[in-house]
A and B are shown apart, each in its own frame.
Chain A
Amino acid sequence: MNPGEFSRRRFLIGSLSTLGGAWLAARWPMIAATQEHIHGAFESGQAPAFQFFSPEQAVEIEAMAAQIIPADDAPGAREARVIYSIDRALTTFEHDKQPLYRQGLTQLQGKTRGLFSGRDKFSELTSEQQVQLLTAIEKSEFFELVRLHTIVGFLSNPEYGGNHDRIGWKVIGFEDAGAYEPPFGYYDREINKDDGR
């Protein structure tokens, strides 16, 4: 059970008598059903097919995303399946960015060959080499766009294909409970123990 669900339940038990509580209770199964459906594909073991990227291209972009938000003691962009949100964005609301990705992928390959002779694929470089290469292109429009899409995919609602299992939100400490009760944070704890007004 993720922390979001836990506090949602606590919240429902705590305030079912109010109008808002009742309303959320009525709607929650619907929201949950939608999200389950979307993640159904993953859970059944088969990753959804890419609609824009070829499998090879996806590997390259995913490797970039994994350097923009790497895994450390907590998961990163790869684990959050950001690549699926980018693929989906490029066939929907970011449709017009397709050419930039095509050109960017070619440039990425060119840069890989230029910097590391004999190497063809960014994704097959060592992590240090990848960082070195991305540092060299971090001012480019392509990098900026992949950075934007990686952050958006990491932190947007899971319905968009990324932020798998709410990994992005867990990393930054965003609970996603839908509703909360005081105390909210460390500094209002004392005051809100009895009456925060």
Chain B
Amino acid sequence: MKHFTTGTQVDFVVVGAGAAGGVVAKELSTAGFQVVVLEQGPYLRESDFRHDELRFRDIYDKPYLGQEILTNNHELQPNTFRRTDMDIARPLPVVGYGRCVGGGTVHFTANYWRFHEIDFIERSRWGPIEDTGFADWPITYADLEPYYTKAEWDLGVSGLASASPFDPPRSKPYPLPPLPVKSSGVLFERAARKLGWHAYPAALAILSQPYQGRSACMHCGFCEWFGCEFAAKSSTLASVIPVAEKTGRCEIRPNSYVRRISTDKHGRADGVIYFDGERREQFQKAKAVVVCANGAETPRLLLISKSNLFPQGLANSSGLVGKYLMFEATAGALGTFEHPLNEYKSVQVTRVIHDFYDSDPQRGFYGGGGLDARFDYYPIGYALYAMPPDAPRWGADFKRALKENFNRTLNVFAHTTALALESNSISLDPDLKDAWGLPAMRVTYKSHPDDLQNMAFFRDRALELLEAAGAIKKWGFPVEDATASVHLMGTCRMGNDPKSSVVDQYHRAHDVPNLFIVDGSSFVTSGRNQPTCTIQALAYRASDHIARMARSGGIRSSL
């Protein structure tokens, strides 16, 4: 791997080596540019990943003992939370993301859903929704289609094209066939058939066969929340980052926490200031900056980077940096079955249903989503959090229930729409600081009533599926306002009008000609809350345009 000195003015510095950052690094370096990627987290390798539930699980299940190896550590980088700006924000770990080279793609479940055509134009189709930022995207599905295909082939995605009657049009099939169906998938498919719905093989960023020198999935089962020891999960760590490094033009610099994007007197970005592993400040010079720090950290960094020229925060003349945050919206139900499913084996998900993807006025509210069949639990988490509600909490009957049900449980999980509200936001906490002395993130979030109604609708569909599948027992998750999220979208929204958006359709900040923002923050709507496929397609598209602009001298760097 190439090493650059901080004094070298490289073509691009990329902040964050996650889903988008990894793709941008590869695309720009293979296009001939010099790239330094600064990643706050460590550079872990396949050999660092362990099947160790106690060490690798995370925030959701506090008082779980998660050690936050792959994900952000709230003791070092806390955030505060409040429902509305009338409430007092208090420390509460609500934002979760991958914090290592590869970002969230290292430990994600790897559901790889393209958006459908409707996702880009839903505001026009559905009409306005009062007091929301419901809007069309400045691009369409057709604009992004070639890049969806590119992502699937470049990263390695398994699936069956057109197996779903609701699949959007595609120019090429998936490069790899779907993974073998699990018992949850068989039951799900059976139930769907009974109900007249359509279950189809899940598209996953996981290799069902060896591909590009990487191993096929070994069905180890420690997938969601874990790094893949076999490099079979198509994280950017396993797929594109090694390609970027091989160009000899790209340096991945881990343990580098960017604390400020620096601008010159003309208001152009000239590099970034970061803390290195020893917490010493460094300055990396660059001709242009690409921020890929995710839907929560990107707006925080822009707000921290305020200056005399940019008193509201960098790229924030619209005042919208941090606003229109969209969280993960989900619903679901658990069920137990007569015979062993052994769901702890292999990938989480093998079948998906998109019959209710589109919103339907007859339901009486806005919203849509998709359902999948899966098992989200490992032994400890199952015993603590997923036992049937009538099971005792300790003693002989607790043990019996644990013994009987661990291998006979599955959950139907729905991923649903989250409306963009201006009042939902990432801002800087006025008091709390992180371990480096930077202002902590403050999260304000309250779901729109339609989101909650939609979740209830999907919870009921999940129960219906379990019933049709022949579950012995079934119980729904409570429908609650979102209080934690690992899907972080919408805080630097894309648009044509600099007054109502932060970046243009090529991800260039409206206010700073050589600053690009490419990650979940660009989202205008939430899709059906499986964002990563679209984040990466956008990253391929953005890189294409950024490279073209750079070649034609259109970026206008600081001198």
Contacts and interface: CB of A to CB of B under 8 A. Distances in A.
Chain A bound to chain B = yes
Interface of A: 11, 15, 18-21, 23-24, 27, 67-70, 72, 74, 76, 93-94, 131, 134, 138, 147-148, 151-152, 154-157, 159-160, 168-169, 171-176, 178-182, 184-188, 191-192, 195-197
A18 B181 contact: no
A185 B340 contact: yes
B67 to A, nearest CB: 7
A72 B181 contact: no
Interface stretch (B17-25, B51-59, B423-431, B478-486): B51-59
A2 to B, nearest CB: 15
A185 B182 contact: yes
A23 B201 CA distance: 29
Interface string B397-408: 011101100110
B448 interface: no
Given A72-B396, A160-B54, A172 B229 contact: no
A151 B383 contact: yes
B399 A70 contact: yes
B160 to A, nearest CB: 8
A20 B218 contact: yes
Q: Which of A134, A171, A196 gathers the greatest number of chain B CB atoms within 10 Å?
A: A196
Contacts of A131: 395
A70 B396 contact: yes
A185 B218 contact: no
B395 A68 contact: yes
Nearest to A19: B215
Interface string B377-395: 0011011100000000111
B187 A168 contact: no
B214 interface: yes
B181 A171 contact: no
Interface string B499-530: 00000000000000000000000000000000
B185 interface: yes
Contact of B182 (A11, A21, A68, A184): A184
B180 A182 contact: yes
B345 interface: yes
Contacts of B67: 93
B135 interface: no
A20 B215 contact: yes
A38 to B, nearest CB: 13
Contact of A191 (B160, B181, B216, B219): B181
A20 B232 contact: yes
B230 interface: yes
A74 B53 CA distance: 23
Interface residues of B, number: 59
Given A19-B210, A20-B215, A20-B230, A186 B220 contact: no
Contacts of B406: 172-174
Given A187-B183, A197-B181, 18 more contacts: A11-B218, A18-B216, A19-B214, A23-B230, A131-B395, A148-B384, A157-B54, A172-B403, A179-B220, A180-B218, A184-B183, A186-B183, A187-B339, A188-B182, A188-B183, A192-B180, A197-B179, A197-B208
A195 B208 CA distance: 12
A156 B54 contact: yes
Nearest to B341: A185
B186 A187 contact: yes
Contacts of B398: 68-69
Given A148-B384, A180-B345, A186-B339, A23 B215 contact: yes
Contacts of B399: 69-70, 72, 76, 171
A184 B230 CA distance: 19
Closest 8 CB pairs of A and B: A196-B180, A185-B183, A186-B339, A20-B215, A187-B183, A179-B218, A20-B230, A19-B215
A147 B220 CA distance: 29
Contacts of A188: 180-183, 185-186
Nearest to A143: B394
25 contacts: A18-B210, A20-B232, A68-B395, A72-B399, A74-B403, A134-B394, A147-B393, A148-B384, A152-B65, A156-B54, A157-B51, A172-B407, A175-B342, A179-B218, A180-B220, A184-B182, A184-B345, A185-B341, A187-B337, A188-B180, A192-B180, A196-B180, A196-B181, A197-B179, A197-B180
Given A18-B216, A94-B65, A197-B201, A172 B187 contact: no
B391 to A, nearest CB: 13
B404 to A, nearest CB: 9
B552 interface: no
Contacts of B187: 187
A174 B178 CA distance: 25
Interface string B191-232: 000000000010000001010011110111100000001101
Interface in B121-167: 160
Nearest to A186: B339
A179 B65 CA distance: 25
Contacts of B182: 184-185, 188
Given A94-B65, A185-B183, A187-B183, A174 B344 contact: yes
B384 A151 contact: yes
Contacts of B216: 18, 20
